[in-house]
């Protein structure tokens, strides 16, 4: 441990510390800095500056040595990250390689991580659907996990606050189970999607296809110009980092905004070992940080600490923050810390063709897709499994080229293309139930390169998930057939949990300190100057892509923290 004198203690003292610069940490930083707090953001990875550190962003397809493919050697060395859909030649530099931060898989779990400025906000799928009370009331109604300590009305203004700033393209659909927000103009549904939407209206009136709300700027450009961001240009190369700032990331938006206040200090290569708890003061006083390169330990101090290290790493930090007051990890009086983790079930999908709409096609590219809000068990329990699934849905006109020949025949063929049938497809996004046996813990023996215990992960699909997969495939097949789609193929890719990149929970919110870690303001019940506003706070998972909710929690929690700082 470094020797600390009074001066260095003063130098290392801030009003607030935020652990993590990703989606939710960036939001905490922006809000804290705007409210005048000197804020230190600790990022364990390297610095990635907006635009200038996006090395592939303007590359043409032929400029990639392997035309996008990941070489076999890298795949062999990195089986986990290689299974991620976005781990391709153009964005591989934004992913953590398997050996860089090992963990223990008690059950198979593909942990996808981004250690750099902005974390995974550079790489996300940019889907931002609000939760409704059908989601927040789920655990209480259906008898699992614990009741959420908040309801939609508590978070709705914060959804609006976040949406206005990040820029959300969407349509006001007027659905009670997927509330409307502050929307910029929506992207269009395709002719094929509109056909299916109309088919549903006539045949399944309670089911609907909408265009998925996404964090892309499609209007109000003067407002976003203040962030240095411009309209989305439909490149759909988002995972490389966007030179226009067309989609939201911490790098393009919240962090530069926070920096402009003059209140932000960013520290990179800062691996957080633990949060320091002062027994005499009865609160957390700072954070113990190991420099990723030099292994040197430094302590930083602040009145309030936000933990936004990503769902599982936040659990790791809290579990590793032991003291005589908290021998099982910070705030873990109840023993539930690390438990009741869950994820989204993305295993199943379906595809097919539609031979109609011959006179239509699509043009250009769209950074989102159609979206099927949850229709199962919404108003009442109607199946033999709990909860339900949302689904992606898209339809595109295919182009057919005959690649079978060689010689002149092939050369002729590749210069021509003919319109083929519409191709339709969907993938499920199922809610999974947080259970006590689904948990993360510290491995008693294995340590990482910085001497921190490795995280042991143990979560799996259960009978409820299997029943939901079966139902999704049955329901989609039935609807696809009835809509006149042909060549219908279903799949269950049996992927391990984790590839959804929606792991949640472990430090869940709740009303009762006996059964939860955080209160309704995302404060640790027994250590209220520590706030957790990333995926670790989630009591249940619902079906919506969770980032928007994390950002709203972060902004709401900062507001609460600052009002109560005294």
Contact set with other proteins (CB under 8 A): 58, 60-67, 69-73, 187-191, 193-194, 233-235, 237, 358-366, 403, 405-408, 410-412, 414-415, 419
Cα separation, 12 vs 255, whole angstroms: 20
In this complex, which beta carbon is closest to other proteins, that of residue 66 or of residue 172? 66
Kindly give the pairing relationship between strand 39-42 and strand 16-19.
Answer: parallel
Scan for tokens 């706070």, then name that residue. 537
In this complex, which beta carbon is closest to other proteins, that of residue 356 or of residue 513? 356
Q: How far is CA 532 from the centre of its chain?
A: 15
Minimal distance, residue 233 CB to other proteins, in Å: 5
Specify whether the backbone of 444 is left (phi greater than 0), alpha (psi in -120 to 50) or beta. Answer: alpha
Structure tokens at 208: 């609907």
Structure tokens at 538: 């989630």
In this complex, which beta carbon is closest to other proteins, that of residue 141 or of residue 235? 235
In this complex, which beta carbon is closest to other proteins, that of residue 9 or of residue 365? 365
In this complex, which beta carbon is closest to other proteins, that of residue 73 or of residue 222? 73
Minimal distance, residue 59 CB to other proteins, in Å: 9
C-alpha to C-alpha distances, 175 to 52, 194, 209, 564, nearest whole angstrom? 41, 17, 11, 36
Minimal distance, residue 522 CB to other proteins, in Å: 37
Nearby residues of 471 by Cβ (< 8 Å), 6 or more positions away: 376, 383, 385, 389
In this complex, which beta carbon is closest to other proteins, that of residue 338 or of residue 425? 425
In this complex, which beta carbon is closest to other proteins, that of residue 60 or of residue 280? 60
Minimal distance, residue 166 CB to other proteins, in Å: 20
Cα separation, 284 vs 18, whole angstroms: 13
Minimal distance, residue 216 CB to other proteins, in Å: 11
Torsion of CA 520, 524, 526, 527, to 10 degrees: -130
Minimal distance, residue 62 CB to other proteins, in Å: 5
Q: Are 51 and 335 a contacting pair, CB within 8 Å?
A: no
Nearby residues of 379 by Cβ (< 8 Å), 6 or more positions away: 134
Minimal distance, residue 3 CB to other proteins, in Å: 47
In this complex, which beta carbon is closest to other proteins, that of residue 15 or of residue 193? 193
Cα separation, 187 vs 192, whole angstroms: 14
Q: What is the 3-state secondary structure (H, E, C) of 72-100?
A: HHHHHHCHHHHCCCCCCCCCHHHCCCHHH
Nearby residues of 504 by Cβ (< 8 Å), 6 or more positions away: 311, 341, 342, 343, 434, 535, 536, 538, 541, 546
In this complex, which beta carbon is closest to other proteins, that of residue 104 or of residue 413? 413
Minimal distance, residue 466 CB to other proteins, in Å: 32
Minimal distance, residue 359 CB to other proteins, in Å: 4
Burial class (CB in 10 A: 0-12, 13-18, 19+), 259: middle
Q: Are 55 and 91 a contacting pair, CB within 8 Å?
A: no
Minimal distance, residue 63 CB to other proteins, in Å: 5
In this complex, which beta carbon is closest to other proteins, that of residue 414 or of residue 482? 414
Minimal distance, residue 40 CB to other proteins, in Å: 38
Pick from 312, 317, 310: nearest CA to 331: 317
Minimal distance, residue 402 CB to other proteins, in Å: 12
Minimal distance, residue 507 CB to other proteins, in Å: 40
In this complex, which beta carbon is closest to other proteins, that of residue 157 or of residue 405? 405
Nearby residues of 435 by Cβ (< 8 Å), 6 or more positions away: 144, 340, 342, 462
In this complex, which beta carbon is closest to other proteins, that of residue 366 or of residue 387? 366
- B/e letters for 3-37, b = 16+ CB within 10 Å, e = fewer, are eeeeeeeeebbbbbbbbbbbbbbbbbbbbbbbbeb
Pick from 229, 165, 209: nearest CA to 30: 165
In this complex, which beta carbon is closest to other proteins, that of residue 243 or of residue 513? 243
Q: Which residue spans within 401-475 are E strands per DSSP?
A: 418-431, 439-447, 453-458
Radius of gyration (Cα) for the chain, nearest Å? 24
Structure tokens at 188: 């269009």
In this complex, which beta carbon is closest to other proteins, that of residue 70 or of residue 276? 70
Burial class (CB in 10 A: 0-12, 13-18, 19+), 365: exposed
Minimal distance, residue 427 CB to other proteins, in Å: 20
In this complex, which beta carbon is closest to other proteins, that of residue 194 or of residue 276? 194
Minimal distance, residue 45 CB to other proteins, in Å: 26
Structure tokens at 31: 């809000």
């Amino acid at each position: 441990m470094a020797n600390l004198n009074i001066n260095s203690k003063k130098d290392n003292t801030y009003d607030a510390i935020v652990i993590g610069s990703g989606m939710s940490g960036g939001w905490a930083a922006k809000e804290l800095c705007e409210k005048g707090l000197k804020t230190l953001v600790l990022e364990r990875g390297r610095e990635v500056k907006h635009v200038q550190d996006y090395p592939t962003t303007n590359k043409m397809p032929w400029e990639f040595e392997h035309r996008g493919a990941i070489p076999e050697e890298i795949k062999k060395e990195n089986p986990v990250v290689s299974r991620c859909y976005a781990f391709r030649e153009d964005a591989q530099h934004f992913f953590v390689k398997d050996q860089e931060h090992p963990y223990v898989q008690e059950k198979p779990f593909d942990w996808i991580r981004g250690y750099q400025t902005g974390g995974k906000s550079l790489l996300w799928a940019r889907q931002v659907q609000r939760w409704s009370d059908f989601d927040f009331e789920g655990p209480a109604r259906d008898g699992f996990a614990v009741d959420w300590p908040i309801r939609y009305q508590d978070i709705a203004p914060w959804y609006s606050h976040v949406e206005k700033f990040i820029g959300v393209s969407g349509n006001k659909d007027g659905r009670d189970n997927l509330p409307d927000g502050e929307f910029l103009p929506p992207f269009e549904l395709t002719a094929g999607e509109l056909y299916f939407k109309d088919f549903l209206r006539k045949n399944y009136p309670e089911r609907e296809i909408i265009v998925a709300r996404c964090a892309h700027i499609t209007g109000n450009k003067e407002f976003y110009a203040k962030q240095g961001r411009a309209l989305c240009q439909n490149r759909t190369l988002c995972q490389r980092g966007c030179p226009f700032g067309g989609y939201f990331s911490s790098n393009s938006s919240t962090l530069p905004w926070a920096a402009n206040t003059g209140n932000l200090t960013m520290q990179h290569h800062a691996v957080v070992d633990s949060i320091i708890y002062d027994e005499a003061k009865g609160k957390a006083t700072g954070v113990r940080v190991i420099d990723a390169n030099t292994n040197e330990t430094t302590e930083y101090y602040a009145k309030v600490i936000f933990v936004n290290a990503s769902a599982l790493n936040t659990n790791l930090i809290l579990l590793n923050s032991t003291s005589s007051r908290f021998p099982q990890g910070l705030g873990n009086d109840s023993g539930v810390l690390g438990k009741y983790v869950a994820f989204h079930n993305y295993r199943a999908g379906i595809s097919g063709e539609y031979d109609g709409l011959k006179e239509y096609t699509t043009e250009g590219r769209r950074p989102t897709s159609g979206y099927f809000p949850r229709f199962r068990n919404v108003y009442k329990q109607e199946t033999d499994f709990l909860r339900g699934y949302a689904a992606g849905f898209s339809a595109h006109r295919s182009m057919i080229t005959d690649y079978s020949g060689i010689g002149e025949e092939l050369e002729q063929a590749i210069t021509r293309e003919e319109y083929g049938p519409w191709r339709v497809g969907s993938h499920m996004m199922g809610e999974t139930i947080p259970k006590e046996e689904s948990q993360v813990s510290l491995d008693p023996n294995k340590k990482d390169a910085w001497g921190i215990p490795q995280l042991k992960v143990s979560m799996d699909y259960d009978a409820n998930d299997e029943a939901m997969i079966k139902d999704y495939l049955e329901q989609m097949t039935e609807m696809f057939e009835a809509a006149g789609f042909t060549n219908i193929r279903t799949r269950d890719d049996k992927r391990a949990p984790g590839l959804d990149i929606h792991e949640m929970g472990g430090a869940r919110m709740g009303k009762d300190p006996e059964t939860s870690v955080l209160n309704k303001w995302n404060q640790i019940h027994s250590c209220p100057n520590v706030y957790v506003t990333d995926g670790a706070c989630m009591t249940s998972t619902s079906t919506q892509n969770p980032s928007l909710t994390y950002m709203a929690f972060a902004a709401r929690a900062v507001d609460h923290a600052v009002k109560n700082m005294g």
